[in-house]
Amino acid sequence: MPRFIIHHVTKYTYPEPVRDSANQVMLYPLKDEYQNLQSQRIAVTGEPALEVYKDYYGNEIGSFMNAAPHTELRIDSNISVITTKRKMPVDDVPAEQQWSHLQEIKYMVPFIDFLKQENFDALPEMKAVADAGFYKTVSVYTAMQQLTSHVYQNFQYIKGITSISTTLDEIWTLKAGVCQDFAHILLAMLRLLGIPARYVSGYVCPHDHNLRGEGATHAWVEAYIPFYGWLGFDPTNNCVVDDLHVRLAVGRSFNDVSPVRGTYKGTAKQTLEVGVSVSYEDGQVSNEMASILSPKLVATKLDEKPDGDNNSYRRYMQMVQQQQ
């Protein structure tokens, strides 16, 4: 049972004072038999009160207001969490029975939301790929592993080539992106096959730096395996999720689990820096705390006049949080 101490910093700076900053954070690890949260401290510029509540999917959300003029907003989350290895599925139920079970539950809560498919031009082409060699011919668990490998092998991991506004058609054409893009492609494929699938936000914590996604929040997919339950698959790293992943929140897509979002009054220009460091039970640190933001700098400036959805601060606050 590995123990991780994770420091996650989100920092916004503004060229002139802004005010009335209302925000929500989804930085609270899920608590279940696989994750034991030992401690957490969230510190915010100005020390506003954090009101914590749960959303429809059971995620904890913290909301706060910073009304005073400020030129910087920094959100520090420090957590200590212990993860537990999972018992993996055993294909002891015939594949045909598993796929039939998925047909039986497709109109049941909570599966309906996680089967809803986004409509896009490349849908027929993607379905042809998803159907080939998978549908009803192998177990759902095996199909999940094969589709995860397909995304990993056919999409290039390239930072900065996409943003939160990049569409599925664009990702499918580019055949490249980062973890959130890999996750969204896998989500679409699974839903085409009738497999309930949900987007997961969290952290990946490898000891030997052999997994993509360190130094920022990470994204992967959880799928419903008949007669087993929900299980995570990480297409960015081509692996089944176990005790090296820490889950923050689940939803239909990135829009449901954005780590930080909000609005404010003031200039449309801002710079965002995000950094994550992980220290392990043995004291090893994957990233230096003192320079947590420096190697993970992401800057975006909105120079347009503050009108229209193009300058929506809510959209901006969602950008880049998963772009590692």
Q: What is the DSSP string of 103-117?
A: HHHTTSTTTTGGGPP
Q: Which residues pair with 280 in a beta bridge?
A: 4
Assess whether pLDDT exceeds 90 at residue 27. yes
Which helix (H) or strand (E) segment holds residue 96: the answer is: helix 95-105
The reported pLDDT for the residue numbered 295 is 37
**Residue 278: both structure tokens together:** 């992980």
Report d(CA 114, CA 101) in Å as an integer.
16
Chain-wide mean pLDDT for the chain?
Answer: 85
Over pLDDT 90: what percentage of the chain? Answer: 68
Assess whether pLDDT exceeds 60 at residue 319. no
Report d(CA 203, CA 156) in Å as an integer.
20
Give the pLDDT band of residue 301 (cuts 50, 70, 90).
very low
Rounded to an integer, the average pLDDT of 62-74 is: 94
Assess whether pLDDT exceeds 80 at residue 291. no
This prediction's pTM: 0.87
Give the pLDDT band of residue 62 (cuts 50, 70, 90).
very high
Assess whether pLDDT exceeds 90 at residue 25. yes
- Contact between 81 and 99 under an 8 Å Cβ cutoff? The reply is no
Which helix (H) or strand (E) segment holds residue 257: the answer is: helix 254-257
Rounded to an integer, the average pLDDT of 168-183 is: 94
Assess whether pLDDT exceeds 80 at residue 74. yes
Handedness of CA 42, 43, 44, 48 (dihedral sign): positive
The reported pLDDT for the residue numbered 137 is 82
Higher pLDDT, 79 or 128: 79
Which helix (H) or strand (E) segment holds residue 254: the answer is: helix 254-257
Report d(CA 177, CA 159) in Å as an integer.
6
**First vs last C-alpha separation in the chain:** 26
- Residue pLDDT, tens place only, 103-117: 999 999 889 999 999
Report d(CA 138, CA 136) in Å as an integer.
6
